Structure 1
Amino acid sequence: MATPQEPFAEAVGEAVQTAVMSVRLAMAIADAVRRHQQRQKNGAEEELSASEQAKADAQKAMKGVLPPDISMALMADADWPQMAQQLMALKQAGADLEQLLPRVGEIAVTVRDQVAANQSRVAKEGTGEWERMLRETLPAGPVREAILSSPTWPDIAATMAKLDESGIDVRQILAAAHDEGLGVDQAVAKVLAAGQVPTMSRDALLSYGPLSDGIDIPRNLDLDDRARALNQLSISPQENARYARMLKEALPEHAREADLAVTAKQWPLVAARMAKMESEQLPLALHLAGLRKDTSWAQGPGSQVGSRLVQATNHVLRHPPGEAPPAVRPAVSTAAARSQSSTVGPSKAQAVKGAASAEPGVAAYRQQSGPSARQGRAR
């Protein structure tokens, strides 16, 4: 049974994690500018400093800049070693950290307080349950993402509560409004793109196959933005952290490899599969134990171990516990490569896949033109 303090603690934690995302974004932008300048001037980027030394130096530079809650969450984040290297590279390139870091700190505090205030208002009005209904009723995509990220979300949730009190079927209204929202999204996109119809994102196109088989992938999936990708796939920061922890617990002797898998670009797809399985009450831990049975993912170039572990994790999740066959790592297939190409439209890609029937386990991308009932997904 949840104590009265648990929802409050969860809300505070989410506000802090959102603040950490804002710090990561600010650092990534600053680092991109540094890299661009060095390429323009020297024709190449300067190498990053050693990770352990960078972490120590960055921690010293950050001392007193951020509030303790944001600072602790930032340094516990899986991306902290890379961020520390970026920070030290900025210093070596001539950036004044004494000027930069306080401004980044102000951004983080503002974001944290805004998120906390928004969550506090929702909780006070008793409308927190409506986010769960929204995620269960509407498919992942631009409409749901727009609603949940809107500053007017508390007002929308309050309206849903009032309709429910009046005996109105809120789910039915949401389903109908979703179709209207798609129409608005497409109309606005046409104007912004000078008449061009929005196309499938490259990440969504490249996610064809075992990684996307059976899970709901939005057409505009953006794996380059970790926070946005998780939101598009309906994975909260708390859920993502829990799934990452489950992977580490399944591989106690491979903590470093598990960290690399969690930070890999395609990890959100694995997290989405774990969420779906959890909603279906499937034994995730038993599935993940299969990674210890077949450790072929550990063989190969160290730079690719995170990606291999992502593929291996997806492999054991898609088979009954203990029954996953040894992972097959085939040579590159020209037909499969062509079907993954961003220059091939969805219908053509699926046609190529149909022709390449020798490749097992590759499923066509599941499109959803309207809302579908999602059963058992609790939040």
Structure 2
Amino acid sequence: MPEDQAGDAFAQAAGEAVKTYVMARKASVMAFRMVLAFAEAVRRQQQERAEKEEARADVDEAMAEASEAVKKLLPEDISAALLEDAEWPEIAQQLMALKRAGVDLETMLPRVGEIAVTVRDQVAANAERVAGEGTDEWVKALRETLPAGSVREAILTSPAWPEMASTMTQLAEWGVNVREVLAAAYNEMLAVGQAVAKGLGAAAEPAMSRDAQLSYGPLTTGLDLPRDLNLSDRERAFKQLAISPGKENERYIRWVREAIPGHEREADLLVASRKWPLVAARMAQMEKDGMPVREHLARLAKDTSWQQGPAAQLGTRLVQAVGDALGRPAGDAAAESRVRVNTTAARATSTSMDPTKAQAAKGTAPAEAGVAAHRQSGPAQKSGKTK
């Protein structure tokens, strides 16, 4: 009917109008978001440009202030070399960061300048190249030159340590006595640490770690133990004790296995023990002192009393046996093992024992049980370098 056709046409037109309205709204939202995205892109670009300009202004300001300081406080040729160096912007920012942290550049720069002059003169006087040393050798040099403490450990644990070691190698190749430079620079590094610690309200020296406290004894007599020794992190422990995890450690493991042939499992237990880095450090010190380490280790096969006792304590007994074998003078052939555990003292220090029982057991232990060799009266052992 004509009336029905007219109604359908109206409904269709109304539907199309609704669709058009919805589409128009959606398109308007999309257009709005697009323009907003354009605006955000422009804002971001402007902000990044402003931040770059601000950073550039900061760098320019630092360079200007640092340039004035080095020209005033350093020799002319040293300051000129610094200002011409490609890394001068970074050096300038580091100097200003030290100043903001409380370091007196008026005092520090002339002393650092003296060190730079010494290096310059050594290079000029000795053009003959010397054999370069690797990173491991510089770890040893640093530990033998600088006293234990926060300054030395800050250098060795710095992310920039490989670059520092490379620089020392280069200086050595130019004829510089790097150890003298390190010794001369120590007071300045210590002053920086103290100034920064004071500015931050922090302690300048870290507290001694529990591993460092518990490691003192016959095995470590004469060794230079760091205050923050961490035996739970073996890689770090090797670095702290100046032991190469590769070349040196593998050599010492091989020597132990050769000393007790047929006891590969026992050798692996010794190497896996928590105190193995200390054993390796003792071998390294003996090696440096020219002592026959392998002859000392051969005592493990002659005196096998370390095999006696609970299997769970075998690793501990091996550490004690190796310490005894390395510590006894050459030619001292004991008729019986010197590795004897005071069971009362051992129970007293056991972490698995009831605290009240442990306290009672301590009361019955001999007076010198558990006293480190460093603190006992009488002649001190002379093997190794002194602490």
* Length-normalised TM-score, structure 1: 0.51
Aligned 1:30-45 pairs, distance under 5 A: none
1:87-142 deviation line (CA, Å, top 9, x unaligned): xxxxxxxxxxxxxxxxxxxxxxxxxxxxxxxxxxxxxxx85447524522345655
Distance in 2 (alpha carbons) for counterparts of 1:292 and 1:232: 31
Distance in 2 (alpha carbons) for counterparts of 1:280 and 1:174: 23
Asked whether the equivalents of residues 209 and 363 of structure 1 are also in contact (C-alpha less than 8 Å), the reply is yes
Distance in 1 (alpha carbons) for counterparts of 2:200 and 2:269: 37
Structure 2 residue identity aligned to 1:241:
E
Q: 1:144 to 1:297 in 2, by over 3 A?
A: same
Q: 1:164 to 1:257 in 2, by over 3 A?
A: closer
Distance in 1 (alpha carbons) for counterparts of 2:291 and 2:224: 18
- 1:317 alignment partner, one of 319, 326, 342: 326
Q: How far apart are 1:213 and its partner, in Å?
A: 1.1
**Contiguous gaps of at least 5 residues in structure 1:** 1-125, 339-354, 366-372
Flag the structure with larger Rg. 2
Asked whether the equivalents of residues 132 and 169 of structure 2 are also in contact (C-alpha less than 8 Å), the reply is yes
Which structure is higher in helix share? 2
Q: How far apart are 1:300 and its partner, in Å?
A: 1.4
Distance in 2 (alpha carbons) for counterparts of 1:240 and 1:140: 22
In structure 2, the partner of 1:215 is: 223
In structure 2, the partner of 1:176 is: 184
In structure 2, the partner of 1:135 is: 140
Q: How far apart are 1:167 and its partner, in Å?
A: 5.6
In structure 2, the partner of 1:12 is: none
- 1:268 alignment partner, one of 259, 277, 281: 277
In structure 1, the partner of 2:107 is: none
Q: 1:199 to 1:332 in 2, by over 3 A?
A: farther
Asked whether the equivalents of residues 135 and 234 of structure 1 are also in contact (C-alpha less than 8 Å), the reply is yes
User: What secondary structure is seen at the aligned counterpart in 2 of 1:222?
Assistant: coil
- 2:244 alignment partner, one of 233, 236, 252: 236
In structure 2, the partner of 1:363 is: 374
**Contiguous gaps of at least 5 residues in structure 2:** 1-130, 351-365, 377-383
Please, which moves more after superposition, 281-290 or 151-160?
A: 151-160
Distance in 1 (alpha carbons) for counterparts of 2:274 and 2:181: 36
In structure 2, the partner of 1:288 is: 297
In structure 2, the partner of 1:329 is: 341
> Higher relative contact order at CA 8 Å, sep ≥6: structure 1 or structure 2?
1
Q: How far apart are 1:282 and its partner, in Å?
A: 0.9
Structure 2 residue identity aligned to 1:328:
R
Distance in 1 (alpha carbons) for counterparts of 2:230 and 2:201: 18
Q: 1:147 to 1:222 in 2, by over 3 A?
A: same
Distance in 2 (alpha carbons) for counterparts of 1:192 and 1:248: 50
Distance in 2 (alpha carbons) for counterparts of 1:203 and 1:291: 26
Q: 1:285 to 1:191 in 2, by over 3 A?
A: farther
Count of residues in Structure 1 that have an aligned counterpart in Structure 2? 228
Q: How far apart are 1:199 and its partner, in Å?
A: 1.2
Distance in 1 (alpha carbons) for counterparts of 2:149 and 2:134: 20
Q: How far apart are 1:257 and its partner, in Å?
A: 0.9
In structure 1, the partner of 2:124 is: none
Q: 1:205 to 1:161 in 2, by over 3 A?
A: closer
Q: Is 2:161 the counterpart of 1:156?
A: no
Q: How far apart are 1:209 and its partner, in Å?
A: 1.5
Asked whether the equivalents of residues 223 and 385 of structure 2 are also in contact (C-alpha less than 8 Å), the reply is no
Aligned 1:12-91 pairs, distance under 5 A: none
1:186-224 deviation line (CA, Å, top 9, x unaligned): 666788895595211000111121122121111110011
User: What secondary structure is seen at the aligned counterpart in 2 of 1:332?
Assistant: helix
Q: How far apart are 1:240 and its partner, in Å?
A: 1.1
1:54-112 deviation line (CA, Å, top 9, x unaligned): xxxxxxxxxxxxxxxxxxxxxxxxxxxxxxxxxxxxxxxxxxxxxxxxxxxxxxxxxxx
Structure 1 residue identity aligned to 2:228:
N
Distance in 2 (alpha carbons) for counterparts of 1:150 and 1:197: 17
Q: 1:192 to 1:225 in 2, by over 3 A?
A: farther
Distance in 1 (alpha carbons) for counterparts of 2:255 and 2:329: 17
Asked whether the equivalents of residues 186 and 198 of structure 1 are also in contact (C-alpha less than 8 Å), the reply is no
Q: 1:361 to 1:225 in 2, by over 3 A?
A: closer
Q: 1:194 to 1:166 in 2, by over 3 A?
A: closer
Q: How far apart are 1:245 and its partner, in Å?
A: 1.3
Query: RMSD between aligned alpha carbons?
Result: 3.8
Q: How far apart are 1:159 and its partner, in Å?
A: 3.9
